[in-house]
Amino acid sequence: MLIAGNWKMFKTQAETRAFCAAFEPPEGVDVIICPPFTSLVAAVESGLTVFAQNVHWADEGAFTGEISTAMLKELGVAGSLVGHSERRQHFGETDEGAARRAAAALAAGLRVIACVGELEAEREAGETEAVLRRQVSVLEPHPQLAVAYEPVWAVGTGKTATPEIAQEAHAFIKSLIDAPVLYGGSVKPENAAELLAQPDVDGALVGGAALEPDSFARICRAARAA
């Protein structure tokens, strides 16, 4: 069971060190934290497994604001998210761009969590499977690749897919690619156990509930129980 905490644009280095000092991950769960770039070193120093929130496909070059795989590896970072819905929504990330980022990171020996998921309008129009098929089709299976299903309508909104909706989407994604599939979308201590109990849910990508050591630990313990 894999539980990743995406901190988004939260936590300074001092706040990161305070979190890591207070957080006690349970044994038997693969726990990852994904802090902002400026807090990666502080997080790595804690001994926790650390992923970046994004990574570029080029080894180096004129790509202002981007970070290469070599830069991440030098810091001791173990992997990266790619294609998060907020990257797609706010910064123009495409399926092809996410695939290039994932391929470069995997080739460099990093682990990857590739994010996919439909908009609310797409779900209401019955296009969920078509969207997921398009987003997953550009990814190549790899032992170090996991997929995170994050219905965009449930990311940061407080809405959560029902366990049945999550299970259906996860089963469909697994029919397209051989990879663990995490659920992401307003995962909280209160709903984690029911979501993680679904047969095709292999873990969670946690947002806001990963910012506090206690709530994140409770989700990790729910994963261990599942």
Q: Residue 166 region, left (φ>0) first, then alpha (ψ -120 to 50), else beta?
A: alpha
Q: Would you kindly state where each structural domain of the chain is located, as residue ranges?
A: 2-225
Residue 11 has pLDDT above 80, yes or no: yes
pLDDT band of residue 153 (cuts 50, 70, 90) is: confident
CA distance readout (Å), 188 to 88, 166, 211, 215: 23, 15, 11, 8
Position 154 scores a pLDDT of 77
Residues 6+ apart with CB under 8 A from 15: 39
Please tell me the distance from the alpha carbon of residue 21 to that of residue 15, in angstroms, as a whole number.
10
Question: Given 86, 93, 118, 150, which residue is catalytic?
Answer: 150
Radius of gyration of the chain, Cα coordinates, nearest whole angstrom: 16
Position 120 scores a pLDDT of 87
Q: Write out the E strands in the chain.
A: 2-6, 30-34, 49-52, 79-82, 111-116, 145-149, 181-184, 203-206
Instruction: Indicate the pTM of the whole model.
Output: 0.96
The answer to whether the CB of 201 falls within 8 A of the CB of 167 is: yes
Task: Write out pLDDT tens, residues 59-75.
Answer: 999 999 999 999 999 99
Task: Write out pLDDT tens, residues 81-100.
Answer: 999 999 999 999 999 999 99
Position 159 scores a pLDDT of 75
Question: Given 56, 84, 142, 170, which residue is catalytic?
Answer: 84
CA distance readout (Å), 185 to 65, 133, 176, 205, 216: 27, 19, 21, 8, 14
SS3 168: helix
pLDDT band of residue 79 (cuts 50, 70, 90) is: very high
CATH fold group of domain 2-225: TIM Barrel (3.20.20)
Task: Write out pLDDT tens, residues 167-202.
Answer: 999 999 999 999 999 999 889 999 999 999 999 999
For the chain, percent of residues with pLDDT exceeding 90? 92
Mean pLDDT of 2-19: 98
**Burial group, residue 172, by CB count within 10 angstroms (0-12, 13-18, 19+):** middle
The answer to whether the CB of 79 falls within 8 A of the CB of 30 is: no
Among 90, 89, 106, 113, CA closest to 2: 113
Residues 6+ apart with CB under 8 A from 179: 139, 141, 142, 145, 146, 147, 173
Give the position of tokens 């992923």: 51
Active site residue 150: yes
Active site residue 56: no
SS3 144: coil
Position 51 scores a pLDDT of 98
Which residues, in sequence order, are bridge partners of residue 146?
A: 113
The answer to whether the CB of 132 falls within 8 A of the CB of 119 is: no
Residue 102 has pLDDT above 80, yes or no: yes
Letter string b/e over residues 54-85, b meaning 16 or more CB atoms within 10 A of that residue's CB: bbbbeeeeeeeeebbbebbeebebbbbbbbbb
